[in-house]
A and B are shown apart, each in its own frame.
Chain A
């Protein structure tokens, strides 16, 4: 009974919604990144690692330039660079995309930890360097409840939601988006039509780097103003789950990210609930909550979603069959089985 009381208390607390938005923002960014990459047919599980790099380097650049906004911007090329590595290994060298992604996560964790001492002089976490200030939305502040929830908000949150619509527009209303979707579904066909499959895939993956970097930057410079080792805490993977749950659609990914963000906010609020009086030592149990939610969602949903057909396999099975009849193909878009 007390539990229901506590839940009601949380749902009527504007803080809950504000925390949901902040928790969802990095997920929205990263899941959009996943959409970009996977729409063109490349699986990118390195989002976790790119987010980490984005978080770290935006702190570095904030320290150097004094401006958190500059920190965010300058971190983006780093994210693009990491993503480029993944694209290079997967597209040009037809490497195993999952393994390449895992490698990049390790490299990211290594590099960010490695550079802590040389740059900041201490391991573990940095000092406060600067934070992107919240802005007040004029007019909204005075509105009861809504004003407390979103009247004062981090501008990156707005950027995140704007990105959702920008991504949707790109994918469904422009020729580039049409080609991206074609490449992810049937790269061989796109190739015969003269579409630059390589180029489009590179674009998709590098954009995922941009997005993931923004997501990571929000975690550090947007929320807390410093960097802590491994601060992404698995969010890159939750973002992947959000992308799957959202059926590889930007708007769907947004809703899914909001769901996962809400579960994190819920865990957070339950812990500090004045009604439940949760002891500090049970904190870890609440931290588990978003991951359990993700697990349940991923398990329950998979039959009903439709991934891009060319996802993950540089070789399409149709190509293998096709090549039975024509021994050699100028299929520059796919990797031959040699």
Chain B
């Protein structure tokens, strides 16, 4: 590795985002709209006013957690595309538990619900992890299958056993004591304290990865499973455990969505946040701090895209931007070469 690789890991994602925005502006032009106007709307939608900022922060929370989930998986050498399904399961089980915690004081109800959500996500991911460890089944295919199974399972749960009211399928509300207290209330928007939990989770992930023996083993297994096994690290235990931790983070994301934002399991709940986690992890270079910034970036894009709709740019542009960013990060040499050429031209 080059000595300046730390700088590269910082520069490449930022350059990728800028390039993606430029390419996206071409797409916007193609449908006859003005990219400048579109991006203005984007910024206004994300940061224009306290409500917007609160919205953005609310959206950041699950993204940090799914980003951590995917990022942790990457460090451990597993590609966890299943964050979506793990989040759904976490939310679903947390809802079921949360509904029944009526008389329990919040001091107990809140941690319990969170924990159950984490365990549900961990368990769901561990299925794929265990399969990979025992049979070598590629986690990409198995986690995606689990995603769909989770989606249909939860869809069934809110249309039959848990259904309440009419319109969008939804579950009953969870008990008051299981709801996360809001940090601030701005207009009709309550900004939950979930963001604090997410940041704490990021810090804990950092500590685990860099300071503990578990982190040493997880990273070793991710870099070189042969040498890790030779060095006494159990690969099958590691894969399963890494997937479980990854799933726990995604499950926590789901639980917090239920506890802090919707207070119930609503519709399909996830809405692609699991896949967003992949973008966040890649842009954040699998590092907790990078992930926090990347999550904030993604969240701003999402909030801002609503405003973009009003100027006639469909919000799918965000997915396109995301896709381009991930593409460029995957083939980061493209970005590096472009940057090096620009440097040469200047000098």
Contact = CB atoms under 8 A, between A and B. Distances in A.
B323 A110 contact: yes
B160 A281 contact: yes
A313 to B, nearest CB: 13
Contact of A103 (B140, B141, B147, B327): B327
Interface in A293-338: 294-295, 298-303
A104 B278 CA distance: 13
Contacts of B178: none
Contacts of B138: 244, 298, 302
A89 interface: yes
A294 B324 contact: no
A284 B331 contact: no
Contacts of A301: 135
Task: Give the size range of A's interface with the partner.
Answer: 35 or more
A244 B314 CA distance: 37
A107 B323 contact: yes
Contacts of B317: 110, 114
Tell me what chain B mostly uses at the interface: helix, strand, loop, or mixed. helix
Interface in B296-345: 314, 316-327, 329-334
B319 A237 contact: no
Q: Most chain-A Cβ atoms within 10 A of its Cβ — which of B146, B155, B323?
A: B323
A13 interface: no
Contacts of A97: 330
B145 A287 contact: no
Contact of A89 (B27, B141, B278, B334): B334
Given A107-B324, A110-B317, A299-B131, A291 B149 contact: yes
A17 B316 CA distance: 38
Interface in B98-155: 131, 135-138, 140-142, 144-149, 152-153, 155
Given A97-B330, A106-B279, A109-B319, 9 more contacts: A95-B331, A100-B331, A102-B81, A116-B316, A118-B31, A118-B32, A287-B148, A292-B145, A298-B131
7 contacts: A90-B331, A95-B333, A106-B275, A106-B326, A284-B152, A298-B137, A302-B137
Which 6 A-B pairs give the minimum distances between C-beta atoms?
A110-B319, A95-B331, A107-B323, A106-B323, A110-B320, A99-B330
